[in-house]
Structure 1
Amino acid sequence: MTSVATGADLQGLEQELLASIAAAGDLAAIEQARIAVLGKKGRIAELMQTLGTLPAEQRKGFGQSVNEIKARVSEALEARKASLEGDALSQRLVNERADVTLPVRPGAVADGRIHPVSQVYDECVEIFADMGFAVAEGPDIETDDLNFTKLNIPPEHPARQEHDTFYFRPKEDGSRLVLRTHTSPVQIRTMLAQKPPIRIIAPGRVYRSDSDQTHTPMFHQIEGLVIDETTHMGHLKWVLEEFCKAFFEVDEVKMRFRASHFPFTEPSMEVDIGAEAIGKPGQWLEILGCGMVHPNVLRNCGLDPEKYQGFAFGMGLDRIAMLKYGLTDLRAFFSGDLRWLRHYGFSVLDVPTLSGGLSG
């Protein structure tokens, strides 16, 4: 191959290649053109293989010419490919349409359910946090001292008996651990750890040896504690009234405070609400116990009852969940029945807020 003939051949080849690229009508055709031109067995590769057959003085010029053709052909390929991709996208936009009015297909988020107890837990935290209460937690396994003694519960009290409390085996020193029977030990731990003012709620699991339609060996409580120098029973009544109005999502709620007795509060009261709050007028429903913290409890925690005073209250999360959402059997809460959970559970997107509504 002479240098003149080679130059003419190269010029003709370039025109041929560019014409084939321009003629490609879709992305599949442009890919075939690319392979035919730039592939391992393509036209450019064939030209480079002839480089060794040329005289030494022609190789440099020939190789430079082939590389220049390769660059221009590659540029033409990319340009044509981009043009065809744009055309393909435009065609898809014309042919493929989505009906945005169709309902969203249910998926994992729609299938999952929040347990009513977890929902009520979050509702209570939302309400009390808005009042300025902090959330305090403690262990499920407690000492007899924190669960009973420091709460002014005497040794002969029925709550200490084994038919009501789950005890562990005695230690070598005679002390015993228990599964906490209430979350009141969290109140004790808080008073021992920090000085007033104190304003906490203590939600969590508690354990008692009891089981029937309205009682289970494990259930959930939420307790509240306020300690400072000026808190009085009027504050307690206001907090409970505001909680009930927010929790049952009503503008007004009737409340009845009945005298009672708890070792850790004096005076002590049980609280009933008018069943109008849950759509059952003419009835009273007991929902919680409360009272002013007993001076002995303050002394047991190193606080001077002549200086500090406060109130405490406690209620069952499971019970108020049953009242609000019309659940009749507490045992179903812990049965693990997916049918029950799908019926009574809440969407994961139903996050309770005071502004948006607690129950979604």
Structure 2
Amino acid sequence: MSEGNDILTELDAIRQRAIDALAAVQDENTLQTWKTAHLGRSAAVMQIFSQIGQVDKALRGQVGQKANQVKQALEAALAEKEQAVREAVLARKLVAEKLDVTLPGRKPAYGRLHPATLALEDICQNLMEMGFQIYRSPEVETDENNFELLNIPAYHPARDMWDTFYTTKPGVLLRTHTSPGQIRAMRQVAPKPLRAILPGMSYRYEQTDASHESQFDQVEVIAVGPGITFGDLKGMIEDLAHRMFSPDVHIRLRPSYFPFTEPSAEVDIECFICGGKGCAVCKGGGWLEIGGCGMIHPTVLQNGGYDPSKFSGFAAGLGPERIAMLKYHIEDIRYFWGNDARFLEQF
């Protein structure tokens, strides 16, 4: 038998071996392996094509034709097997992954209020029940409203108390507190008596840590009228604390300094976790700071349109995030703006 006849016999054997191997294929991965082994560049039938030039000229055409027939037969068998494998895979999935349409669907996740919003609403609701009205003021403020009219002139050392975000426009900044709203509210109402709540976001350029953020909510509380005293301020804060925390909770006022109030005080609330005995939340002191307050400075009253000889008033600044931290035992203020669903879903 000549060399050409040997190759023809080998082609028949190659075809049979490939068909036998294809019959055992059951999945897509094995099918890909078969394709590489029997129709890839290194496959036996493909090697025959490279040997045709060495075959006798008389048999060269016959060998080439036979090799093409084997290759086409294997490609046809592969296509048929691919279809069979896809159908088998689909059939298995239909059995293994069938859906029972009578089962109840998964309940959707419902949105909820942010803990800072809960505290803000709690503060505002209680103060509205006490006779205060909400007044909104802009977050982008003028230097005049944010400092000058609040008795903090340019180059006054008290400005160091607020790390300010200035804009590229001279005299325009992000408000460092909600106190500029005092001027806007007083000028709108004066000379009539005023009781207002000014909630909103404040901004300070400072390093963030567990108790400080560069943005935070504040609620300014202001009352102006004839004969308003420091006793009225203390009574308002005490009533608010009783409404928000417990009828039995105690407060205390510590002397402090704010340029726009005189006298000024820091507000502490008796730790409602330990009842003033000292614990980890109050760091053993028995008291928790919740804000600052004081009687509105006569200069600020005058800038707001009131005659300080006829009117007096008080102001207090409360931090909803700080109150939420105390109320819900939150240890790090950065959690409020981290957008971590695991934290937010707890409220």
TM-score w.r.t. the length of structure 2 is 0.64
Q: 1:163 to 1:152 in 2, by over 3 A?
A: closer
Q: In the alignment, which residue of structure 1 is the partner of 2:311?
A: 308
* Residues 1:278 and 2:265 aligned together: no
Secondary structure (helix, strand or coil) at the match of 1:287 reads: strand
Secondary structure (helix, strand or coil) at the match of 1:278 reads: coil
CA shift for structure 1 position 209: 1.0
Q: In the alignment, which residue of structure 1 is the partner of 2:243?
A: 246
Amino acid in the other structure paired with 1:133: F
Which structure 2 residues correspond to residues 46-61 of structure 1 after superposition, within 5 A?
A: none
CA shift for structure 1 position 105: 8.7
Amino acid in the other structure paired with 2:325: M
Question: Whole-Å Cα distance in 1 between the matches of residues 291 and 106 of structure 2?
Answer: 40
Which structure 2 residues correspond to residues 193-212 of structure 1 after superposition, within 5 A?
A: 193-195=188-190, 196-210=192-206, 211-212=208-209
Q: 1:183 aligns with which of 172, 175, 178?
A: 178
> Can you give the 5+ residue segments of structure 2 that lack an aligned partner in the other structure?
1-103, 278-285
TM-score w.r.t. the length of structure 1 is 0.62
Amino acid in the other structure paired with 1:218: Q
CA shift for structure 1 position 162: 10
Amino acid in the other structure paired with 2:322: R
Asked if 2 retains the 8 angstrom alpha-carbon contact of 1:278 and 1:323, the reply is no
Q: 1:238 to 1:161 in 2, by over 3 A?
A: closer
Amino acid in the other structure paired with 1:315: L
Secondary structure (helix, strand or coil) at the match of 1:259 reads: strand
CA shift for structure 1 position 157: 3.4
Which structure 2 residues correspond to residues 328-343 of structure 1 after superposition, within 5 A?
A: 328-343=331-346
Q: After TM superposition, what 4+ stretches of structure 1 lie above 3 angstroms from structure 2?
A: 104-108, 157-163
Secondary structure (helix, strand or coil) at the match of 1:111 reads: coil
> Can you give the 5+ residue segments of structure 1 that lack an aligned partner in the other structure?
1-103, 346-360
Asked if 2 retains the 8 angstrom alpha-carbon contact of 1:262 and 1:268, the reply is yes
State the number of aligned residues: 234
Q: In the alignment, which residue of structure 2 is the partner of 1:78?
A: none
Question: Whole-Å Cα distance in 1 between the matches of residues 329 and 344 of structure 2?
Answer: 14
Question: Whole-Å Cα distance in 2 between the matches of residues 281 and 299 of structure 1?
Answer: 40
CA shift for structure 1 position 302: 2.2
Q: 1:269 to 1:134 in 2, by over 3 A?
A: same
Q: 1:269 to 1:162 in 2, by over 3 A?
A: closer
Asked if 2 retains the 8 angstrom alpha-carbon contact of 1:165 and 1:207, the reply is yes
Secondary structure (helix, strand or coil) at the match of 2:144 reads: helix
Asked if 1 retains the 8 angstrom alpha-carbon contact of 2:199 and 2:217, the reply is yes
Root-mean-square deviation (Å): 1.9
Q: In the alignment, which residue of structure 1 is the partner of 2:148?
A: 149
Q: In the alignment, which residue of structure 2 is the partner of 1:120?
A: 119
Question: Whole-Å Cα distance in 1 between the matches of residues 140 and 185 of structure 2?
Answer: 16
CA shift for structure 1 position 160: 3.4
* Residues 1:298 and 2:301 aligned together: yes
Q: 1:281 to 1:168 in 2, by over 3 A?
A: same
Question: Whole-Å Cα distance in 2 between the matches of residues 141 and 121 of structure 1?
Answer: 20
Question: Whole-Å Cα distance in 2 between the matches of residues 151 and 269 of structure 1?
Answer: 17
Q: In the alignment, which residue of structure 2 is the partner of 1:223?
A: 220
Question: Whole-Å Cα distance in 1 between the matches of residues 216 and 158 of structure 2?
Answer: 16
Asked if 2 retains the 8 angstrom alpha-carbon contact of 1:278 and 1:324, the reply is no
CA shift for structure 1 position 337: 0.8
Which structure 2 residues correspond to residues 340-355 of structure 1 after superposition, within 5 A?
A: 340-343=343-346, 345=347
CA shift for structure 1 position 112: 1.7
* Residues 1:111 and 2:114 aligned together: no
